[in-house]
Amino acid sequence: MKKLSYCLAFTFLMVSSLNLKAQVKEGPFPLREDVSSIDGIMKAYYEVVSGPAGAPRQVERDRSLHHEDALIIITGKDENQQPYSRTLTFDEFHANTSAYENGFWEYEIDRKVQQFGNIAHVWSTYAWSQTKDGMVGGRGINSIQLYHDGQRWWLLSWMYDSERADNPIHALTDESSPIPDWFIEDLNNHIGIWKTDNSSYKSTDEAIDAYGIEWSWGIDQKSIVGHLYGFQNAAKTADFWQFRYYWDPADGKAIIVQYGYGGVLGKGLVKPLGNGTSESIQTFFSPGQPSRKIKHEETLTGDIQISTSFRLDENEEWIKDRHYTWHRIKKNSQN
């Protein structure tokens, strides 16, 4: 009971502290219209970072939107394509800001809000350009945490990520994603009949000397279909797997689906890693059995494809499973 009383008292003091801080106002900011509604604070959120070349930044107006303990998280990918994040205070974020050198205009193009009581999460899709109403230079998504203290809204934290070839903005904005060039190129590079040796994995349970896979065009050459089979004593077996590889315009992602014996279904995403290498992570479902995940990395150069599969160990770490070198023995130009 004492512990509960302490927790309640502590909570009351924290809330009271937030309310007292919220009532402090210095100078012309905050503007009432900036903080009285979610619409208002989101409008101000984009206005304070936008301006023509040579214009000073609206740091004090921006400060009035942020709670004094607000955090700003910068995310992205480094030169090695590894994700990173950096957490800053408001002052650290603005430490190196100055007048706009080239002009910068950022504006919201879509918003999803989830609110519960005095807290709200805003999923805000943005675009930017160097001139007002100019050509779009890039897009991304801001993830914003808001708090209402009974009098006004505060920005408690926000983070963002930019749109990239491997990170498209898709159904969030209710728009259909165009098929990217890398995907069409990947489809074309797969077309044909491929074969690989299986002697390293041949066993009593897997009496297969080699595997073959044939990829052919789907409708309108915007997808491909495939089937994988084996060879025993030079004789071709029945199919083990059937595949479809396609672009989902609603979700903005490359999808690989495969079907096997006993109703087994595998489905996952394919993403480019650069230099002819792609990665897929699929979840496999067998009727009445637990699901499992498998990762593949493929590097395709001309008529040679290096394929490595990975499985999860007991610590949920990816470990290498199989490694194959596939050779294209025929390239089909038609279905």
pLDDT digits (tens), the chain, 335 positions: 434 344 434 343 344 444 434 444 556 899 999 999 999 999 999 999 999 988 888 999 999 999 999 999 999 888 888 999 999 999 999 886 666 678 899 999 888 999 999 999 999 999 998 888 778 889 999 999 999 999 999 999 999 999 887 787 764 555 677 888 899 999 999 999 999 999 999 999 999 999 999 999 999 999 999 999 999 999 999 999 999 999 988 777 899 999 999 999 999 999 998 888 999 999 999 999 999 999 999 999 999 999 999 999 988 889 999 999 999 999 875 54
Per-domain boundaries in the chain: 22-164, 181-330
Q: Which of 247, 238, 241 is nearest to 265 (CA)?
A: 241
Give the per-residue pLDDT at 99: 63
Alpha helices for 75-173 (secondary structure H): 90-94
Give the per-residue pLDDT at 102: 82
Could you say which of 1.10.760.10, 3.30.70.330, 3.90.1150.10, 3.10.450.50 is the CATH number of the domain covering 22-164?
Answer: 3.10.450.50
* The model's pTM: 0.54
The CATH class of the 181-330 domain is mainly beta
- Rounded CA-CA distance 268/263 in Å is 17
Residue 154 CB neighbour total at 10 angstroms: 23
- Rounded CA-CA distance 241/246 in Å is 16
Q: Which of 158, 161, 155 is nearest to 61 (CA)?
A: 155
Contact (CB, 8 A) for 335 and 321? no
Place of tokens 């007991």: 314
Q: Which of 103, 96, 110, 175 is nearest to 141 (CA)?
A: 110
- Rounded CA-CA distance 34/44 in Å is 6
Give the per-residue pLDDT at 17: 43
Give the per-residue pLDDT at 80: 86
- Rounded CA-CA distance 151/171 in Å is 35
Q: Which of 230, 247, 250, 226 is nearest to 238 (CA)?
A: 230
- Rounded CA-CA distance 138/128 in Å is 6
**Buried/exposed 322-331: b ≥16 CB within 10 Å, e otherwise:** eebebebeee
- Rounded CA-CA distance 178/181 in Å is 9
